[in-house]
Structure 1
Amino acid sequence: MPILPAEPDFFPPDLWDDPTAVPRTSAEAVWWCLHARPRQEKAIARELRKLGVAFFLPQVLKEDRTPQGRKIRSVIPLFPSYLFLLGDHYDRLSALQGNRLVTVLEVSNQESLERDLRQIQKMLSSGLPVQPEPAAPVGSRVRITTGPLTGIEGTVIRRGKHDQFVAVVRFLGRGATVDLQDWQVEQIVVPSQQP
């Protein structure tokens, strides 16, 4: 199997050059979050680059060792199964062609996402080692944002495989658990208590 060169994290190459705003390909260009099928992020990025559609796929270097002791280096997505597209409605439809995406998530707060993506890009370009972190660590309070349980609040009690976790919701002094994906919840910021 041939070894492919490392995919660029973003396209076009000047995507992050302007410190005040991301260059827009059209007046209607907005950020979209692409939820990809497992291990399809780089293939989607290659297709978007061929189409000339702006995207951001944050990647990190992962080092492992084989049982024989050899080092293996891999470039993996920082957020498995997710990448970000900057484009209009037609660019979004172009990304949906084929069978590589699960869904396209609409971004309601464009400025906040762009600020977060700029921070991630700055961290990645610093040369310092960057490690992925779970969205909601054990013990954090979360609120369900999508699906039939929207608005319910609970506490993360453990993390399972495939970025799933279990949240507990108190009802009559008892708990109920439900498996959720990271993208279905948001962490609740608890204001610090003043003495």
Structure 2
Amino acid sequence: MTRLLWNTSDCPPSWGLPTRRVSPQFNWYCLHTKPQKEAQVAAFCRDNLQLETYFPKLRQYRTIRRVRKLVTSPLFPRYLFCRFDPAISYRAVRYAPDTLDIVHLGEKPAVVEDNLIKDLKDWAGDAVDIISLRSPLTPGDHVEITAGPMRGLSATILHSHEDRDRVAILLSILQHGAQLTISRSQIRRCD
């Protein structure tokens, strides 16, 4: 479906229309959807409205009914990104099936920077819109602290929670053990 903009500069001057040339302003916007309807809204916008969409998903290990499984879930549940010009497609996107709203800042739709979308796509790598976290840390893994006052020290993972960003580690300092809870971003696995 091709969208045409009315170009008033082609109209005769007797019509009294402004002669400003209209150019589309395609930016990324964030759409708020009904629960678990992100994929349907993305497909509708992409297939029916001919708009570019980005629906990043996260692949991670989760324990479901005491079984550890690799699952794919939305990176931002109930949200996805769509690139469109509000002057042309605002109503079509806003009232698309299963769309609750377009995220606003004040009275205007909030523009999402192209750099953010590019960074998310770079993070996903070759996988289409799927972002994988580094391999999970399990008790007994040897890690090195990479940030903070304990940088450079080795430790052993005591326990970790997949749904939290923190792990409990055991530091070996001067032949004594010290337990510490630290952010996952401050450690890396020793191979």
TM-score by length of 1: 0.45
Which structure has the larger Rg?
Answer: 2
Instruction: Give the strand-richer structure, 1 or 2.
Output: 2
TM-score (norm: length of structure 2): 0.45
